[in-house]
Amino acid sequence: MSKLRVHSFALSLDGFGAGPHQDMDNPLGVGGRALHEWAFATKTFQKMFGGEGGSTGIDDDFAAAGFSNVGAWILGRNMFGPIRGPWADEAWKGWWGENPPYHVPVFVLTHHPRASLTMAGGTTFHFVTDGVHAALQRATEAAQGRDVRLGGGVATIQQYLRARLVDEMYLAIAPVLLGSGEHLFAGLDAAALGYRCVRHVAMPSVTHVVLARSA
């Protein structure tokens, strides 16, 4: 049965999944890049963006697991780009260039319609205007029995958590304080929603935490 998974979602020690003031120069918000330093060094990340080498071991194992058995993704509008409001410039095709790292259908939540966008490497962006449930239904159908990965950002994950639709959530907690930005658990009671920690592994540059929702 297909699951909805959050995977390798980076958080600061004070609970922020992105820094403030996202823009072209700061796609992860001011200071947000520091949350992902552990991933940049892994073999999985280097391969994903056309590089060579990279570290193996526990960090890489967690990074690689995020792409295992994934048949579709769901992203919030901000994860696709910094453009707000109507799609005035459809030349923008995402942060990743002509060959994004997904290689499966990706469903982008937005309030503004846009035609699907086919990219190199098997990625097609579909823009969904009728809410989180519709996006999940379409993504599940596209995944054809494999899992759906929920990529974020914070507001999108919160919507799916409140709807009790996320089956598993793996967080990568970096030893960084951001002080402000987008707080993942703001206004949420994860325990009341049924989530429990089922695994945690502390590494020098990150602590890997896996949460699962009880039936």
Residue 190 is assigned to a structural domain of this protein: yes
Number of structural domains in the chain: 1
Kindly indicate the confidence band of residue 180, based on its pLDDT and cuts at 50, 70 and 90.
Answer: very high
CATH number of the domain to which 62 belongs: 3.40.430.10
pLDDT, tens only, 92-124? 888 888 999 999 999 999 999 999 999 999 999
Residue 7 is assigned to a structural domain of this protein: no
DSSP code, position 120: G
* 198 φ/ψ angles, rounded to the nearest 5 degrees: -110, -10
The dihedral over CA atoms of 43, 46, 50, 52, expressed in degrees to the nearest 10, equals -60
pLDDT greater than 90 at residue 209 = yes
Q: What is the mean pLDDT of residues 150-169?
A: 95
Average per-residue pLDDT for the chain: 93
Residue 176 is assigned to a structural domain of this protein: yes
DSSP code, position 33: G
Full domain range(s) for residue 79: 18-84+94-205
Can you give the pLDDT at residue 29? 87
More confident residue, 44 or 92: 44
More confident residue, 116 or 50: 116
pLDDT, tens only, 2-32? 999 999 999 999 999 999 888 888 888 899 9
Residue 10 is assigned to a structural domain of this protein: no
pLDDT greater than 70 at residue 215 = no
pLDDT greater than 70 at residue 214 = yes
3-state secondary structure of 60: helix
Percent of the chain with pLDDT over 70: 100
Residue 1 is assigned to a structural domain of this protein: no
**Bond before 94 cis per omega within 30 degrees:** no
**Biggest CA-to-CA distance, the chain:** 45
Distances 185 to 154, 170, 200 between C-alpha atoms, Å: 9, 14, 18
Q: What is the mean pLDDT of residues 79-100?
A: 85
Can you give the pLDDT at residue 7? 95
Q: Beta strand pairing status for 105-109 and 70-75?
A: parallel
Can you give the pLDDT at residue 91? 81
Residue type, 211: L
Q: Where does residue 21 fall: left (phi above 0), alpha (psi -120 to 50 degrees), or beta otherwise?
A: left
3-state secondary structure of 143: helix
- Reported residue count of the chain is 215
- Per-residue burial over 154-165, b if 16 or more Cβ lie within 10 Å, else e, is bebbbbbbeeee
Residue 214 is assigned to a structural domain of this protein: no
pLDDT greater than 90 at residue 85 = no
More confident residue, 25 or 173: 173
Q: Which residues contact 21 (CB under 8 A, 6 or more apart)?
A: 29, 30
Model-level pTM? 0.93
